[in-house]
Amino acid sequence: MKKLVITGMGAVTPVGNTVKDYWEGLISGRSGVGMITKFDASGIPVKIAAEVKDFDPEDYMPKKLARELDPFMHYAYAAAEEALNDSGLVIEPGNTGIVMGTAMDGIRTIAETQDGYSTGAVKKVSPRFVPKMLGNIGAAQIAIAHNITGPSMTVNTACSSGADAITLAAMFIRSGASDAMIAVGADSALCPVVMAGLATAKALSTNEDPKTACRPFDKLRDGFVMGEGGAAMVIETEEHAKRRGAKIYAELAGYANNTDGHHVTSPHPDGIGAVKCMRDAMAMGNIKPEDVGYINTHGTSTHSGDIIETKSIKTVFGAHAYDMLIDSTKSMTGHMMGAGGVAEAIACVMAVREGIVPPTINYENPDPDCDLNYVPNKAQKRDISAAISNALGFGGQNASIAVRRYEE
């Protein structure tokens, strides 16, 4: 089986708008959560979110194009630009493809347009409305900008969309359809109707202090904080990367996807899907449980979700689970939805390269049902040879990505 490697990365997140700034934000334990500024939140019960900050789409694309794209597309485009520039990849038409992962597509455009049209504030719907809200147009605009004409797919698997984009990109390469792919995850669902719906479902934290609201694995956790952003990585065969003299960040050693077949919003109580995903990703890469030093969990800060994921890790790793570093970077970025699976895989790549694992911030009150080393509040140095990123979504979606230190 062809060895796959990661040669470029890009990120637009609530804690930094480049991979460098994102990583520095994570290891310093910086919270990206604040009061909502992108819409009037006075009429909804939750008023905090992890917004992308100091981002101007016109810094990354022509002004006309910026007006024609939904915010999630802005983030996807910017992250892809960084990843492609970082990789130095020369696009080979037909031999380079793209996979986009997004959970909510252009929901902000839909919500804002419908609100304006219903209230009479908007008299005419723009002819750009439909392409502005379609999920695949984010990938299409990146492909148009770079003459990418190989395989193209957009996946919508809720919160695992970004991780599944990586998986599908890898599958395209291994099928022989291309030698290089860019995997992108992006979402921006910060609008009243989505936030109100999640609040009514009691999924969101009601903590009024933005900086301490997201507290994965902490006994006092009360729900997740909505985030937004985009992330991208360039994946190639080792042969293709070496032939062009590319720098190689890490090996994409394994990946897996499945479904619980249990419930629309609740994970299986025994975490059967997450267990199988981690095992399958490790088996693909011939990774032994004791080789894994770090897991970036889905870790949303919901009561049952954090317990079930902890249980799943212990099922897979046994006693070694207590030796590993386990964190949730969502404690800082919030839940970036489709962007999270790629951004959190990037965190794993950086941990393998840099020998440091970001903290889970706001961890103050141990929960006896969550009893692993969650890297509380301060980054920890550790030599990491292999790491796993989990992404678990509504509908029982499960995805795991395994990365390993690159060795020829």
Active site members: 159, 298, 335
Q: Which residues of 144-154 are buried (b: 16+ CB within 10 A; e: fewer)?
A: ebbebebbbbb
**Number of Cβ atoms within 10 Å of the Cβ of 167:** 27
Q: How far is CA 6 from CA 3, 247, 250, 324, 381, in A?
A: 10, 9, 6, 24, 23
The residue among 295, 352, 287 whose CA lies nearest residue 323 is 295
Sign of the alpha-carbon dihedral angle for 54, 60, 61, 65: negative
Nearest to 257 by CA among 280, 288, 234: 280
What is d(CA 69, CA 141) in angstroms, rounded to the nearest whole number?
9
Q: Which amino acid is at 123?
A: K
The DSSP line for 145-202 is HHT--S-EEEE--GGGHHHHHHHHHHHHHHTTS-SEEEEEEEE---SHHHHHHHHHTT
Q: Give 212's contacts (C-beta < 8 A, 6+ positions apart).
A: 362
The tokens describing 349, both together, are: 């790549």
- Classify strands 152-155 and 397-404 as parallel, antiparallel or unpaired: unpaired
Q: Judge contact between 322 and 87, C-beta under 8 A.
A: no
Token digits of residue 73: 């597309």
Phi, then psi, of 259 in degrees rounded to 5: -135, 145
